Amino acid sequence: MSIDPAKPVQRFEDLRGILRYVPQFRQRVFVINIDGAVMKLPGFAALLQDVAVLQSLNIEVVLVFGARCQIQDLANSRGVTLSNDDGMGRTDAATMNVAIEAITRQASELMADLTALELPVVISSALAVHPAGVIDGVDQEFTGRIERVDVESLQTLLKADILPIVMPLGYDGRGVTLRLNSDAVAMELAVALNAAKIIFVSESGLFTEAGGRIAQLSVAGARDIFKKRDPRHDVNMLSKLRYGAMACQEGVPRVHIVDGTQDEALLAELFSNEGVGTMIHADDYQQIRKASPSDVGTLLSMMEQSMDDAALVPRSREQLQSKIADFFVLELDGNPIGCVAVHCFEEPDKSSPLAELACLFVRRSHKNKGHAQKLVTFAEETARQKGCHRLFALSTQAFRFFEEKAGFAVSDPQALPPARREQYERSGRNSKVLVKDLKA
């Protein structure tokens, strides 16, 4: 989704999609950590343009980078054996020498590339560090530990629209240069700056055993993968999961891991509902809320395909608008991904009204995560609160879901309130009738 400044915007829908998110991100800090391997890719120039897009939207970007690849390359060309090449263990003097050279070169190249994009940029040494000391009996030598972040100096830069680059290096009180893990740097910066996000632009994505993308992870889930040291995930990814989980625990609301080898990954992760990477989140950010008249357009466009496929009854804007008080929206991170409606039918000859669970829908991209079952439970509770002891649903294509996953039983049209039965017969949809008794 890189925007070529030489051309007018070609895809207006991209721009609209982006602008929807701008109010919530404006003047919020995003810490972006780019793997060294990604900086060597041909698509890196486009990635920096995407960083420039964020900056132009008044997002305050702090840039961090990793250097594993560059340190390895330089060590190979010099015949140096590294004490560690992932920034996570001991750093001996020879490794430190190579690291300083590789990292300062990368910083300088980044300065040059960003300056060419007319982004005001500085290399900031905003970290107070100490030697990591002796860990498990091993002197870590030139490996550093971050003690403090100079928040004031970084905020001064950000307020002046200057993008700070923070290297994975630090300088202690004795003037010694120490090597840092860039993921730890990103975490410390994000926590200190009260950032809205960390985005790790990694050399790979995070996948399940079956090869599917892991779209979301709770803090506990991320820590679990790190602790198990699952061999499917390399040390680079485990480090991101570890520091990403720590950042969330310390108050950073969202941490994203995107595959930097994918074109447009950064913007697509941030500015689309479904994302393309993995998001680690601290809180349960799902909520089911009452729909409001302003949701009508979103609900209609979300359900359009299912209405076309006749899985849902086609509803006009006016029909939806008139019944909007009965609708509930399931939101993920502020974005609607599902809905359900509960309509009540008073029956003069019955002791309690009947309720219909209608218009149950979950976006295709969020299927099979238990969202529909949550919506059904919510609808049952809503019906109960309205004094209903029985819930019914009409379904053409998801009746098995209601039977097998939601505890409904197949019934017949006689179970429907007379007004609804008449409508049912007129529709000719021949839906299955499903009912569930609600315990008080």
Ligand X SMILES: CC(C)(COP(=O)(O)OP(=O)(O)OC[C@H]1O[C@@H](n2cnc3c(N)ncnc32)[C@H](O)[C@@H]1OP(=O)(O)O)[C@@H](O)C(=O)NCCC(=O)NCCS
Q: H-type helices in 250-295, by residue range?
A: 265-270
Nearer to ligand X, 197 or 371 (CB): 371
User: Position 176: which residue type?
Assistant: V
Q: Decide: 398 and 432 in contact? Cβ < 8 Å.
A: no
Supply the minimum distance, in Å, between the C-beta of residue 285 and ligand X: 17
Shortest spacing between CB 344 and ligand X, in angstroms: 17
- The single residue listed with the structure tokens 């001064």 is 156
CB 370 → ligand X: shortest distance, Å?
A: 5
Q: Give 110 or 362: the residue with its C-beta nearer to ligand X.
A: 362
- Is 311 among the residues that bind ligand X (CB under 6 A)? yes
Query: Token pair of 163, please?
Result: 């993008």
x/- mask, ligand X, residues 335-374, rule CB under 6 A, reads -------------------------xxx----xxxxxxx-
73 or 274: whose CB is closer to ligand X? 274
In the bound state with ligand X, the residue whose beta carbon lies nearer, of 120 and 370, is 370
- Shortest distance, position 95 Cβ to ligand X, whole Å: 49
Q: In the block, which residue shows the tokens 């000859």? A: 349
Total residues contacting ligand X by CB under 6 A comes to 20
Provide the 3-class DSSP secondary structure of residue 355: strand
Give me the helices (H) in 386-436, please.
399-406, 418-427
Q: How far apart are CA 321 and CA 73, in angstroms?
A: 62
CB of 194 to ligand X, least distance (A): 34
Identify the residue among 312, 329, 342, 383 touching ligand X (CB under 6 A). Answer: 312
Provide the 8-state DSSP code for 155. Answer: H
- Within residues 66-85, the interface with ligand X by CB under 6 A covers none
Give, in degrees to the nearest 5, the angle at Cα 294 between 334 and 288: 40
Helix (H) or strand (E) holding 217: strand 216-218
* CA-angle at 164, arms to 126 and 242, nearest 5°: 70
Tell me whether residue 115 or residue 365 sits nearer to ligand X (CB atom): 365
Question: Of 83, 106, 182, 306, which one interacts with ligand X (CB under 6 A)?
Answer: 306
Angle at 207 between CA 206 and CA 208, to 5 degrees: 140
In this structure, the number of other CB atoms found within 10 A of the CB of residue 112 comes to: 10
d(CA 65, CA 335): 30
**Shortest Å, Cβ 297 to ligand X:** 19
Give whichever of 226 and 402 is closer to ligand X, judged by the CB atom: 402
Q: How far apart are CA 337 and CA 148, in angstroms?
A: 40
Report whether 343 contacts 355 (CB < 8 A): yes
Q: Which two three-digit tokens encode residue 407?
A: 């505890």
* For ligand X, the closer CB: 208 or 368: 368
> What is the C-alpha to C-alpha distance for residues 351 and 355, in angstroms, rounded to an integer?
13
Each residue 400-419 as x (binds ligand X by CB under 6 A) or -, in order, gives: xx---x--------------
Closer to ligand X by CB, 240 or 371: give it: 371
Shortest separation between residue 376's beta carbon and ligand X, angstroms: 8
Site for ligand X in 383-402 (CB under 6 A): 393, 395, 397-398, 400-401
Nearest approach, Cβ of residue 208 and ligand X (Å): 14
**Nearer CB in complex with ligand X: 311/324:** 311
**Shortest separation between residue 401's beta carbon and ligand X, angstroms:** 4
Where along the sequence are the contacts to ligand X (CB under 6 A)?
306, 311-312, 360-362, 367-373, 393, 395, 397-398, 400-401, 405
